[in-house]
Each structure stands twice: as structure tokens, then as C-alpha cells.
A = this chain, B = another copy of it.
Amino acid sequence: MTQGAPSARTGRADGAAAGAMDIVSDVTQPPRRPRKRSATRSVTLSDVAAAAGVSAQTVSRVVRDPRSVPDETRANVEAAIAATGYVPNLAASNLASNRSRTVGVLVPQINASVFADTVHAFSTALAAHGYQIFVGTTDYRPEHEEDVLRSFLGRRPDGLLMVGTDHTPGTRALLAAAGVPVVETWGWSDDPVDLLVGFSNAAAAAAMVGHLVERGRRRITFAGRHTSGDPRAAERLDGYATAVRELLGTAPRTVDAGPEPVTMDTGVTLLDLVLERHPDSDAVMFSSDVFAAGALQACVRRGIDVPGTLALAGFGDFELARHLVPSLTTVAVPGTLIGELGAELLLERMRGTPVGVPHRDVGYRVVARASS
């Protein structure tokens, strides 16, 4: 009922204007129609200005910085805004001011709720300063990251938050050319692009190995999606392998999910692979709680004693982990803190003030529960 044909609404006013001008113009001249383009249907700043009896500039000031205008004028303009139903056109604002008040967020996957906390905290913190967030996902395909980034840059964001520290040369080149402030998160790097809020995935995985060894496990297998576009899983694998060699002096035992999605189904598949390839395992470390949860429930269903026969551990400390029976041992990562700190650093950088400590290690915590 609302719809109608929006473009149809424009014709009339323009036609009338054109007619009036034609009458005034010299007849010997070609008609020289003002060939107005499809004028926008919406209320503009100058409409509001006309309604309030002030200049467009004053309206603009009221919209952007109400305190810069005396109370009476402001009230007057605000009334006009309400009366006309004015909604500022941000595209025009961005173009004129060369600021978009917009920050892009690049995550591998949005429903994989590890990052959801980070994104939520980040966007809440930035919203308080008038920034809007737009989120893009790479679907765990690093080569996709470059495409998404390119289309992001078309929006001229004032800043970027990215999950991961591992980027293609193309991505780094784009970032360098754009000169946009960037926070990398959820990883650690000796050569960050700009700002960094994260932790060492390798150290976290090594700590988990330490925990399992402490609990008496000796044949620990790593199961994850580490060869197909999840650099964080690969880093965890590295940490695992190093720790196993150091603490147990044995060769690492791993199982890979390939390009399978991060789902509980894949977790079951991984468990099957472990039982097939490394049937003597006494513990399995998964690269994600999602995998571990799928595997854990499969064990319960099949009567495999957890942790008696097999200890299981995940990564991420999703809410699910502590609700499962048995509850799941995992690595807790401060996702919300990452988002908050990331916002803080990015705000400083966007403001142009020097950033005190541009690289922050938020750490991790091994959460020992019943599954180990």
C-alpha cells in the first residue's frame, strides 16, 4: 500500500518548473529545457531551511552539532525538521565532508558466535560516538577478503576492524593505499598493519595441551579446519604441535576437516576421523567449541565415556560449553573485551590523537570442565 511508483511522483513538479522557464526564456533560443534529472523524492536540507526561515547551513549545523546554535534557533529548526520529516542524506554528507562516520567490520563468519560478541561490543562502543558499522563476511575464504575489502573501501570507511592478522599481499596493498585506520583482532602478529587487539592462538593451544597433560593425557590429537582458510585454526595447530613435542616428546597427531563448514556435523565427522586414524587417542582438542560440542554429543549417544575413555576440549567458550553434559573444557577468549578495546584504539586513531599502546594482548584462559 505504501509503494506505488516512487519515480512517478517526480514528474509533475519538474514539468511545471520547466514550463515556467520556457515562457521566460528567449524564444529564438532553443528551448533549453533545464533537463532536471530524476529529482530525488525526499526532503532536503533546503526544504527544511525554507520551512524554518533560515539558511541551509544553519540547518546543517543543527543536525551535526546542535550546541553550536542558540536554543531558540535550534528549537525552530528542529520543529521544521519534524514537520517536514527530513532524513539527512548521508551520501551527500560523506561526499562533502570526506568523512563517512562509518566503520567496516570484516569477519570470517557472523553466525559463528565467537565473533558475535566482539562485533556487538565494538558496534555498541562506536555507536556511542556516532559511527555506524557495516559487517562483511569472508566465509573463511581469504581470497574473498580482498573483494569484500575493495567493496568496503568504496564506502570510504573512517576505520576498519578485521578478524585475523594474516592477509594476502593484495589486501595489504589495498589497506596501505587507502590509508584507513585498521584494527586487527583475534590473533597476534609481529608485523601488524596498524592497531592490534588479540592474543596468541598458538600459546592458547599450547596451554590447553599443558592442561591435558596435567590431567594425565599422553595421546592427544588435534582436530580442526586448519588447512582451508582458517589461519587461527592453523596457528592453534602450530601451538599444539610445538607443545606436544616439548611436553610429551611425541609426534603431533592431527585430523583435518578440509573445507567443511564450522558446524556440529563436521565435529562428528572429525570425531570419526580421529577414531579411525588415531584410535588410541586419549584426548582430542578441537579448533572450535562447535566441533567439540558435536563430537561430545556423538560420544554421549554412542556411549563413549567422556572423559573416562576420551577427554575432549574445544576453543572459544561458547555459552553452550558449560551447559553440555558433561560440560566442555575449552579456552575462553575475551571476545567482548576485544571489541571494546578495538573500538577504543580505533577511536583514538580516527580522532588523530596518538595511540598510547597500539598493540594489546588480551590473553586467554583455559577453562577446565568435566570433559577432561
Chain A residues close to B by CB (< 8 Å): 1-7, 9, 37-38, 40-42, 85, 87-92, 94-95, 98, 100, 110-111, 113, 116-117, 119-120, 132, 134-135, 150-151, 153-156, 173-179, 181-182, 193-194, 263-265, 268, 293-294, 297-298, 300-301, 319-320, 323-325, 349, 352
Total identical chains: 2
B residues less than 8 Å from A89 (CB atoms): 95, 154, 156
Q: How far is the CA of A251 from the CA of B4 in the complex (A)?
A: 46
Is the CB–CB distance between A194 and B2 below 8 Å?
yes
Q: How far is the CA of A117 from the CA of B263 in the complex (A)?
A: 13
Is the CB–CB distance between B294 and A179 below 8 Å?
no
B residues less than 8 Å from A182 (CB atoms): 2
Q: How far is the CA of A293 from the CA of B98 in the complex (A)?
A: 48
B residues less than 8 Å from A1 (CB atoms): 193-194
Known A88-B154, A89-B95, A132-B151: A178·B297 in contact at CB below 8 Å: no
B residues less than 8 Å from A40 (CB atoms): 98
- Nearest CB of B to A160, in Å: 11
* Contact for A90 among B154, B263, B319, CB less than 8 A: B154
B residues less than 8 Å from A153 (CB atoms): 87
Is the CB–CB distance between B294 and A2 below 8 Å?
no
Is the CB–CB distance between B3 and A150 below 8 Å?
no
